[in-house]
Structure 1
Amino acid sequence: MNRLDDGVYDLRGLKCPLPVLKTEKRLRGMSSGTILTVETSDPLAIIDIPHFCNENGHALLASENTGSGHRFTIRKT
């Protein structure tokens, strides 16, 4: 878990608040304009990740259901 494979940051299996905290930490180390795709199985991430992006000015490019959870595509500001 917690790996970045094929541009996807795998946070499946982690519970709130870890997905949003780990997403925040990963984005901190990335350049502005970089796109990060995050996968999570935490049902609260559908609320937490968009709220985090809105509060921090990151662009939430996509939010989609997957068979095992949710996938978010974020562009860092």
Structure 2
Amino acid sequence: MSETVLDLKGLSCPLPVLRANKVLRSLAPGARLRVLATDPASVKDFHAYCEQTGHALVAMSQDRETFTFVIQRKADPPGKAEP
């Protein structure tokens, strides 16, 4: 399974979610995106983002000031690819 790493440390809300969304849209269904962020608001933001979009937040951790999120891109509905 492929995994892309996106280092967004130092960026504030809403930039981490916006940039992660842009990358996720370019990934194949089922691919994973590992996001590194330092904004404490990103915890709530990524939970809400995944709930709203249907992507799976498969792991989350914190090491000092860095939050790590692993998001698995959802499958496209049959006959439709995300733009």
Same fold (TM over 0.5): yes
What residue in structure 1 maps to residue 80 of structure 2? none
1:74 to 67, 71, 74: 71
Query: For residue 69 of structure 1, what is the amino acid of its counterpart?
Result: T
Q: Once the two structures are superposed, what CA deviation does each residue of 1:6-35 show, in whole Å capped at 9, x if it has no partner? A: 832100000000000001001011110001
What residue in structure 2 maps to residue 7 of structure 1? 4
Between Structure 1 and Structure 2, how many residues are aligned?
72
TM-score, scaled to structure 2 = 0.82
Q: Is residue 2:33 matched to residue 1:36?
A: yes
Q: Is residue 2:62 matched to residue 1:57?
A: no
Structure 1's unaligned 5+ residue stretches are 1-5
Q: Once the two structures are superposed, what CA deviation does each residue of 1:40-70 show, in whole Å capped at 9, x if it has no partner? A: 0011000001110110000100011122220
Q: Distance in 2 between matches of 1:53 and 1:21?
A: 12
Q: Distance in 1 between matches of 2:64 and 2:6?
A: 16
Larger radius of gyration: 2
TM-score, scaled to structure 1 = 0.88
Q: CA RMSD in A?
A: 1.2
Percent identity between matched residues is 39
